[in-house]
Structure 1
Amino acid sequence: MPETLSCAVHQPNLFPRLSTLGKLVRADVWVVLDDVQFNARDYQHRARLAAPADPEAQRWLTVPVHRPRGRDSRIGELLLADPAGTHRTVSRLVRQYYGRCAHWPETGELVEEVLAALALNERPAVVAEVSVRAMLHRLGWRGAVVRSSDLPSREGRSQRLADLTAAVGAGTYLCGPGGAKYLSEGPFLERGLQVRYPPPPPLTRERGMRTASALWAFAQRGAAGVRDALAVDCVPAR
C-alpha cells in the first residue's frame, strides 16, 4: 500500500454513532480494534436508539454477551449469551422505532445484515463489525478492513496505534475527539507518520445526535442524506 493511505483504528460498535462513521468513512483502512479488553459501559455491544420525532428520547439496544474469561475477556472473545432472543429483540425494536420512517426500506436492509449475523450465532464483535460495514457500504465507502488481532503491535496506547497504522502501510492516522484526549504523537513521529484530527460531523451538534446510533439518520434522511451530513468524499474502490 502507498504511504499516503490514511488509517482509523476503532473498536467494533453496534450500529455506530455518526461521529464514528464520520471518522471511518474518511479512512482508507479501518483497523478493527478487536483484541482489547471489553468495556460493558461502551458502545461495543449496544447502541442508543433515538426516537424519530425527538432524538433526545433514547433507549439502549443491547446485545447480551458472555465473557469466557470474566472481566479479562477481550472484545473478540465474547460470545452471544442469547442469540435467538437477541435476534427477536433487534428485529422488533429497530422496526418499532424506525419502521414508519421515510427511508425504512434501505435502513431495514442494513439491519437485515446484522440479523443474519445473529442467526449464524456469530461473535458479538463480528455482529457489531457487520453493522458498521453495512452502514459504510451504503455510504459508498470502499476502503479496506483489517483486525488488530491479526497485526503486530507493542503495548501502550499511542505506541500501539502507531504500530497498527504502520502495519497496514498507512502514512496518516485519523484520531477522533475521544482519542485526542490521551494520544501522544511521539510514537507516530518516530515512524514518520502523521496524525490528523478530523472534526465530528456538524449533525452531531444537534440535540441527541452525539450519543444516538446513526440508524436515526439513515431512517430519517436515507444513505444519501447521511453522506451529505458527513460532508466527505468516500474512499474509492481499490
Structure 2
Amino acid sequence: MCAIHQPNLFPRLSTVAKLYAADRWVVLDDVQFARRDYQHRARLAALDEPARQQWLTLPTRLPHGRPTPIDQARLAEPGRSRRTVSLLTRQYYGGSRYWPAVRDVLDAVLDQFEDTDRVSDVAKASTVALLTALGWSGEVLRSSAIPTRVGRSERLADLAAATSSTHYLCGTGGWRYLDTQAFDGHGIQVLSFHTPVDTGDPLWRWARHISSLWALSRIGPEALAAMLAAQRDHRPMEGFT
C-alpha cells in the first residue's frame, strides 16, 4: 500500500491518517513549492480551545523563484525558525499530560535545523517523528530519487510502480484530476481514502484544519494510534470510481 504526499510541517491529522494506513510513503519533494500550502507551515490550535489557532511558519527563500521545487526551497532564517518552532510548540502543548511524546517529536525536528537548511528535510522529519510516535514503521522514500514520466497521474503511477506497490491511496484532493488508466498500465489498484466527516468527535472534526500535534497532545500516542488503526481497519477503502 503506497501513499504519495508532499512533505508537510507537523501535518494535519487527515494527512497522518492516510500515511498511517500505508506501508510506504513516497515524499513528493520534486514538485513546485507552494507558499499557500503546508510544506513550510502548520496551524497550531490551543489545547482546550481548538478554534483558537495560529500559523507556525518557516520563512522560506526560493532560489529559482516561483518554479523552485520543494526539495530546493531553503530556510531563510534557520536559527530564528528553530527558536520559533520550539517556543510556539511549548507554548501551545507544554501543559499537556502527553508533553513527553510531543517533546520527542519536537526534538527530532529541532535536530534537523542543525544539519540542514532544506525546508523539505525539516517538514519530512516532523512527519516521520509523528508517525514514529504512533508506532508506524513503514518505508519512506523521496520522489526526487525516482525517475518518472512528466504528467501528474503518470508521475504518481510510476512512483507507485517503482516501489513495487500493488495499491495506491488517493486522498480527496487527487479525486479532481487522477487518471486511473496510468495505474492500470502497472496493474496497480487505486483506492480512495478519506477521514470521517459529520462526526461529533472533535479530533476528526478538526482533522483537515490543524496540525496533528493537537490530537497527539489531547489523547496521547497510544489512543491516537488506536484511533488511526480503527479508521484503517474498520472503514474499508473503496476502489476509485
Confirm or deny a common fold (TM above 0.5). Answer: yes
2:48 to 49, 53, 66: 53
SS at 1:47 equivalent: strand
Percent of residue pairs bearing the same amino acid type: 49
Name the counterpart of 1:210: 208
Q: Which runs of 5+ in 1 are unaligned?
A: 1-5
Q: What CA RMSD, in Å, does the superposition of the two structures yield over aligned residues?
A: 1.6
Moved more, 224-233 or 174-183: 224-233
CA shift at 1:199, angstroms? 2.4
Q: Which residue of 2 aligns with 1:3?
A: none
Q: In terms of mean alpha carbon deviation, does 196-205 or 75-84 score higher?
A: 196-205
Mapped to 2, the partners of 1:209 and 1:165 lie a distance apart of 26
Q: Which residue of 2 aligns with 1:229?
A: 227
1:158 to 145, 150, 153: 153
The secondary structure found in structure 2 opposite 1:149 is helix
Unaligned runs of 5+ in 2: 233-241
Pairwise CA distance, 1:54 = 1.3
Cα distance in 1 between the residues matched to 2:208 and 2:202: 5
Distance 1:34 1:50 in 2: 27
Match of 2:237? none
- Pair 1:128 & 2:123 matched: yes
Answer yes or no: is 1:103 the counterpart of 2:101. no
The partner residue of 1:67 within 32, 50, 62 is 62
> How many angstroms does 1:70 deviate by?
0.6
Superposition deviation, residue 206 in structure 1: 4.5
Counterpart of 2:5 (choices 3, 7, 10) is 10
Q: Which one of 31, 47, 67 corresponds to residue 26 of structure 2? A: 31
Report the AA paired with residue 160 of structure 1: R
Higher RCO by CA contacts (8 Å cutoff, separation 6 or greater): 1
Residue 232 of structure 1 and its aligned partner are, at CA, apart by 4.3
Are 2:173 and 1:178 aligned?
Answer: yes
Pick closer, same or farther for the CA change 1:206–1:198 going to 2, 3 Å.
closer
Q: Which amino acid aligns with 2:112?
A: A
Question: How is 1:72-87 mapped onto 2 (pairs within 5 angstroms)?
Answer: 72-87=67-82
Cα distance, 1:214 vs. partner? 0.2
What count of residue pairs does the alignment treat as equivalent?
229
1:210 positional shift: 2.0
Q: How much has 1:20 moved relative to structure 2?
A: 0.5
Contact 1:12 1:128 (C-alpha < 8 Å) held by counterparts? yes
Counterpart-to-counterpart distance in 1, 2:19 and 2:149: 23
Contact 1:22 1:201 in 2 (8 A): no
Cα offset, 1:205, TM superposition = 7.0
Please tell me the residue identity of whatever aligns with 1:181.
R
Runs of 4+ in 1 over 4 A off after TM superposition: 201-207
1:7-38, Cα deviation, whole Å (9 max, x unpaired): 11000000001110111111111100000000
> Per-residue deviation at 1:51?
0.8
Residues 148 and 155, structure 2, Cα contact 8 Å, conserved in 1 = yes
Structure 2 match to 1:189: 184
User: Quick one: distance in 2 between partners of 1:48 and 1:221?
Assistant: 18
- For residues 77-115 of structure 1, what are the alpha-carbon distances to aligned partners after superposition, in whole Å with 9 as ceiling and x for unaligned? 011100110011111011000100111111111101101
Is the 8 Å Cα contact of residues 21 and 229 (structure 2) preserved in structure 1?
A: no
Counterpart residue identity of residue 175, structure 1: C
Indicate the larger mover: 174-183 or 66-75: 174-183
Letter of the aligned partner of 2:218 in structure 1? Q
Q: Is the 8 A contact 1:19 1:201 kept in 2?
A: no
